[in-house]
Each structure stands twice: as C-alpha cells, then as structure tokens.
Chains A and B, each alone.
Chain A
Amino acid sequence: MIGYVVRRLLSICVTFFVVSVLLFVMMHAIPGGPFDAVEMPLDPAIVAKIMAQYGLEQPLYVQYLKYMWGVLHFDFGIPYQSPGETVLELLGRAWVPSLVLGGLGVLIGAPLGIALGLVAALRRNSWVDYLASAISTLGLTIPVFVTSMLLIMVFAVWLNWLPASGWGEPKKWILPIIAYAAIPLATYARYTRSAMLDTLNKPFVTVLRAKGLSERKIIFQHVLRNSAIPMVTVFLPMFIGTATGSIFVEAMFRVPGLGAYFVSSIETRDYPLEMALVLMITVMFCLAYFLADIAYALLNPRIRLGGRPSK
C-alpha cells in the first residue's frame, strides 16, 4: 500500500516535471515576447531593461531552472499583466468565483444527473428514459456558449427575471451556474444509466430476486453500490476538473474568474501566470485520478483483499 502510494506520488512528480518542460519550451517558442506591444512600441532600451529585470535575456535553461527553483519555494513569480501582485495572490483572488461557479455547478448538476440516470435505468425504454437520453445528448453536444446565450436571452432579455452578466451578488450567480451545471448533469446521467444497466444485467441480481428480496432492497443495497464503483473513477476527476471553472461560461457571463486569464496570459505572453495555471491543473488532475484509483480499490473487495480462491 505504502509502496504503491509512493510510486504514484513519484509518477505525479515526473508528470509535473515533463509538463513544466514542455510548457516552458512551447511558450517560449511562440513568436513575440511579453513587451512587444504593437500599438505603442516601447523604446528598445527600456524593453531591454525590463527584459533584464525579469531575467528574460538569459538562456532558456537558466530561466527554466530559476523558475523551477522558485516553484520549489512556492514562488511563482509576478504576472506581467498585473505587476502589483504575485501570481499566487492573483490566483487566490480570481479562483474564488471560478470555484464557486464550478463547485456549485457540479454539486447541483451531479446529483440531478445521477437521479436522472437512475430513473432512466430503472424505467428502461419508458418516456423517462427517452427524456434522460435526450437531455444528456443535448447537454453533451450543444456547446456551452450556445446554452449560455439561450439562458441570457430567455431569462435576462425576454423575461427580465435575472441579470444577464456580472458576479457580485448571488442573484447574478444563477444563470452561469445553470449553464455550467448542464455539463456534469448530462455526463452523470449518461454514466449512471449505463453503470446501472450494466449491474442490473448481472446474474447476481437475478439471484437476489430469486431469493425473495424486495425490488427496493435489491436496488438500494446491491445495485446502487455496485454501480457506484465505476462511477467513482468518473466522479472525482470531473469534480476537480470543473472546479477550475469554464472559460466559455465565464466569458459569456463576464464572471471575473480564472477563465479569462487562460486566454490573456497566452495572448500577452505572460509566462509566469500561464505556467502557474497549467501546472496547477496538471497537479489537480493527477491527484484526482490518484484519489479515484484509491477509492476504487477501497470500494472493491477483490482489489482491497486480493487473494485467489482457496480450494
């Protein structure tokens, strides 16, 4: 167990390292630099001075090593586009709306999706099933900016019930969260349905019926638990993935979250911010899959206990 955890953590470190190198190289491979403003060209001498201040004139590997040395001390540098604060301070500030949006979106979307998938599986080929399958197909295929636009048109423009954009007060949260929740809802509805149907078709369910258990007990004690195991591997990564927010939803509703910085940090060659954003996501995804694997093993006695049949 301990060996496994250590191996997994090491592999996360390796992934972290590889991603950081690739990203660093790719970022610097993009033509242009952070201070090549087209409209208001700066004096070359001033640019050189700023470059020297940020250490950008040094060889790439030196820059990389300096950067990583900083990362080891939780120093992610200063964002070029907002030099008044550190990268960590900017992330801490901008992450809050994204976390609220993503977190509430999943917390609302996932249970609804699971419930929908459950009913669909239990009432297979009924109207509920068809409705669920329609909702999940639409949720997965319609781009989120289209849903966002529809929501704004209906609830903000026509009905005038809710504000069209902004963030400050909770009333403004409603539309972006609904737009956001559609994705986990659709995903979970689909996964739940197929996991449930998979379990319901297992021979042991027939045995449970044959020994006289009530259908309620069969579903809630046995089928749900068995279906939960494959779900865990989907649930955790999705939960953490969505906590970083959505670029499109944030843009549509002008939410001052992290999303905008993904775009702007590439556009402005804001190397420190871009590095920090991508590395953060990398670590979160690695940890999410790691936790999902551990949870999977803990839930499944075959893996938890191991052992082959004793004769």
Chain B
Amino acid sequence: MSPVLELRNIRKSFELGRGFGSLFRAAPPPVVAVDGVSLSVLPRKVLGLVGESGSGKSTCGLMAMRLLDVTSGEIFVNGTDITRMEPAQLKPLRKQMQIVFQDSYSSLDPMMTLSQIVAEPFVIHDMYTHQERSEIVGDLFEKVGLDRSYRSRYPHELSGGQRQRISIARALALKPKILVADEPTSALDVSVKAQVINLLHDLQEEMGLSILFISHELSVIRSLADEIAVMHRGRIVEQAPTETIFQNAQHPYTQSLLNAIPSLDPRKRSRRTFMSAEDIFAKIPTVSRGDVVIAENVPTTDPQLVNVSEDHKVEAIVQG
C-alpha cells in the first residue's frame, strides 16, 4: 500500500537571537527542531506522533502541510513531491490535506459567523453556489455533532469542545484525504475530550481519512492510532503498531513515556524511579550489524533507526 502522505528525511533548523536580545550576547547557533524524520501515513490509517514539548512533533505537522518550509528533505502527497511546489500549483492539492490545531479559539476568526467559517474553504476554492454551500455547511454541522441553529453564532459563544468541532468541520469541508491533527484534544476538558476523540474516530471510518495525529498524551493516541511514532529531540526513536509500543517498547525514551502514564488503579500505587537524560542515552539498545538490514556506510557511533522486526523500528547503536 503506497502512503498518502510521506515525509522523507526532513530537517528543520531555526536561526535564533537575531533580534534585540543580541544586545548582550552573541547569537546562538541555529536550533535543529527536526533532524531527519521519515514518516508514512497509509490510506485510511491513523499514525500517532507522540513527543514532549520541543520534540519537533508540531514542526513536522506544519512541514507536512507545507505551512512551514523544510530545511532539507522531501514531502510527498499521493506520490507527488510537494516540497518545493509554488503556491498556485499547491492550491488544488490543499483540498486534499487539512489541519486542525490545539487552540481552537485563536484559529477561528472572531468576526465571522460559524457558517461563514465552515464555508470559507468553498470561497477560497470558488466552489458551489450560495444555495449549495449553505446546504453542505448544514450537513457538516450535523456531521460534527453541532445543532444547525448554531450557524449564525460567533466563536466566542461556544465552549472549547464546540469550537474544536467547528475547526474539524472546516477542515472536513473539502472532503480531504489527509488530516493533520495537532493536539486537537489537549485544551479540552476531560468530559469533552472523549467526545472529540470519538468524533475523529467516526469521521475517519466514514470518510476514509488518513490522519497524522500529533499529541503529547500516549493514552489519547492509544485509543485512536493504528501505529505510533515516538519523537524525541527532533528524531524518531521508535515506531511500531500501537499495541506493540504499549507491550514491547524497546527504546528507553518510549519506556520512560510509558512509565510516566499514571495508573488508574490506586491499589497499584508504587514508588517509581525515573530515568535522567543521561540514563536514557546510556540505555539506547545495541544491535549487531548482521541482524538488521542497513546500509554499509552507516557509522557505528551514532544511533540509527533500524528495523528490529518487520513493523517495529527502534533507534539503536549498530555494532560489528
């Protein structure tokens, strides 16, 4: 199965400290936010991308949508290289790929009514008559579980969960094939979080969406993703089917993320020990060169992402 969205060895570095702060110090070296990430989202599958703040996971999402340019690497949508496409060429492709952000409040124009917000993609792409638009918007409202009577309201009149539904409705208006969801549930209350997860679950099945689901919460990803990629300091350190990650994590960083999930059974409370950054580095697994398929010229000092089984990749040090 060929992937609908593929990131090939993408990198992003940011220059820092060019501004006023340089008054008192030299500009720091550029920060490498994403350091050679390759990911594939397969048709009708959900790939969960988990990592902590600063891991580069959101930067990956933005680059996948061409909302941020890569420093190097390529991005393919349905096999087409979009890495350096001009905006005019990209526009028709944009219909196929949409993004939903964490902060639904700042991503919705406060001066527009909810139906204007949801219909905006049609205006941008010059689709449908006025009559048709209003019909489709009504259907979209229903699809994301909002009453049609909300159409003439404004974003500030909604709760966080309802605003996130509007963001999702807008993203789905053009019937995209690919959805990037960047922490869509993180700002939501506990009782509403489940609603939005379920909504994405249903929509994915109904519309055959492929989703790149970015989150810092492994437990949220577990209930939605087919496969999980774990990101740490700009690199993928482990990737495997969801339950393999939960049952058989190999990389010490993945283990520390799993270890940090609170148990929901107060009887099983126990004193935990934590790995420091040095511990994690020291515990990176080693594999011998014979056991993995790997290019000849790979250095043996830096950890490499290698296949430990057919669908399980781990960053490891290759020996021998």
Contacts and interface: CB of A to CB of B under 8 A. Distances in A.
Interface in B1-48: 17, 20-25, 28
Contact of A305 (B20, B24, B277): B24
A307 B27 CA distance: 10
Contacts of B277: 311
11 contacts: A1-B24, A4-B23, A293-B23, A297-B20, A297-B23, A303-B23, A303-B24, A306-B17, A307-B25, A308-B28, A311-B277
A294 B23 CA distance: 8
Contacts of B24: 1, 4, 297, 303-306
A306 B277 CA distance: 24
Interface centre among A304, A305, A306, A311 (most CB of B within 10 A): A306
A227 to B, nearest CB: 20
Nearest to A307: B25
Interface of B: 17, 20-25, 28, 277
B240 to A, nearest CB: 27
B256 to A, nearest CB: 14
A4 B21 CA distance: 9
Contacts of A306: 17, 21, 24-25
Contacts of A293: 20, 23
A82 B226 CA distance: 88
A301 to B, nearest CB: 10
Interface extent on A, as a size class? Answer: 10 to 19
Nearest to B26: A3
A1 B277 CA distance: 34
A306 B22 CA distance: 9
Contacts of A303: 20-21, 23-24
Given A3-B22, A4-B22, 7 more contacts: A1-B24, A4-B24, A293-B20, A294-B23, A297-B20, A303-B20, A306-B21
B275 to A, nearest CB: 13
Contacts of B21: 303, 306
Q: In the A-B complex, list the 3 residue pairs whose CB atoms are closest, starting with the nearest.
A: A4-B23, A306-B25, A297-B23
Contacts of A294: 23
Contacts of A4: 22-24
Interface string A289-311: 00001100100000111111001
A4 B25 CA distance: 10
Nearest to B16: A308
A124 to B, nearest CB: 25
A311 B21 CA distance: 21
A311 B276 CA distance: 10
Interface centre among B22, B23, B25 (most CB of A within 10 A): B23
A3 B22 CA distance: 9
A294 B17 CA distance: 17
A294 B22 CA distance: 12
A131 B236 CA distance: 61
A304 B23 CA distance: 8
Contacts of A305: 24
A295 to B, nearest CB: 12
Interface string A25-52: 0000000000000000000000000000
A311 B232 CA distance: 14
Interface in A1-33: 1, 3-4
A270 to B, nearest CB: 40
A122 B243 CA distance: 57
A307 B23 CA distance: 13
Nearest to B31: A308
Contacts of A3: 22
Contacts of B20: 293, 297, 303
A291 to B, nearest CB: 13
A152 B20 CA distance: 47
A308 B17 CA distance: 11
B149 to A, nearest CB: 36
Contacts of B17: 306
Contacts of B23: 1, 4, 293-294, 297, 303
B232 to A, nearest CB: 13
B25 to A, nearest CB: 5
A230 to B, nearest CB: 14
Nearest to B23: A4
B36 to A, nearest CB: 22
A20 B86 CA distance: 43
A1 B21 CA distance: 9
A294 B277 CA distance: 38
A306 B17 CA distance: 9
